Each structure stands twice: as C-alpha cells, then as structure tokens.
Homo-oligomer: A and B are copies of this chain.
Amino acid sequence: MPSGKLLEEKGIKVTQARKEILEILETCTQPVSYENIKESISMDKATFYRNISKFEESNLINAIESHDKKRYFELKRKPHAHFTCRVCNQVECIKSGIYVTLQNYDIENVIIQGICPSCKLTNRLP
C-alpha cells in the first residue's frame, strides 16, 4: 500500500516527512520508538512528533507504552492486541484471538501488561 494513498484516505496532506514516517512504519514488523528510528529519519524531532500526533488523531497508528516508559508506534493493519512484559520491557504483537468488547465504547487497541513466557521461565523473575 503506497503511503500517499493512506494519507489521502484520511484527508491528511501528503508531505515528504509524512511519507517518510509511514514508509518506515510499513517496513517494521514490531512497534518502534522514536529512539529506534531517529537515525533513519531526516526530519526534525518536532516534525516527527507533530506528525505522529496527527496520525494518532486520525487513527492511522497505534501507540503502545512499554514499561521502559517509551512509546512504541506501529501502523494500524489487521487489529490485534499487544503485550508488554514488565521484566524485559519487550512489546509484542499478539496475533492470536483476543476479543474484547465494551458496550458504547470504541475500542482501538488492547494492551496487556504482565510477564512474558520467556521471563517466567528463566531467572529473570522479579
């Protein structure tokens, strides 16, 4: 899916910076933080965050806060839940069926916090 199309659909003006962010997010299979990608982007930090905010408002991306207090962004594709581990701080996409409904609410993302299988087993227990 060309990033220009995505923006047009949401009524967001197509600019260099916006295409650049979306193209990076399209290549990522996991949510990424500003720190993760700041080397790969040419725009200013303020521009990055302004556009991230715009994308969030337009419901184009998810933002998932990890226990490391950083926000991880991902393109909204097929809806799925996320898991963040309190021990290793990993943010994980949960593809298997988690279905949550709440009468009268619009649900856009479900984030599950806890301890991941790997940390449960190894000596990384709290």
A: residues with CB less than 8 A from B are: 56-59, 62-63, 65, 67, 69, 71, 81, 83, 86, 94, 96, 98, 100, 102, 104-117, 120, 126
**Which residues of chain B come closer than 8 Å to A57, judged between CB atoms?**
86, 126
Interface pair B113/A108, CB less than 8 Å apart: yes
The distance in angstroms between the C-alpha atoms of A113 and B113, with both chains bound, is 13
Tell which of B98, B108, B113 touches A86, judged by Cβ atoms closer than 8 Å: B108
Tell which of B58, B67, B102, B113 touches A94, judged by Cβ atoms closer than 8 Å: B102
Tell which of B65, B105, B110 touches A110, judged by Cβ atoms closer than 8 Å: B110
10 residue pairs bridging A and B, Cβ less than 8 Å apart: A56-B67, A65-B65, A98-B100, A104-B117, A105-B114, A105-B116, A107-B113, A107-B114, A109-B112, A109-B113
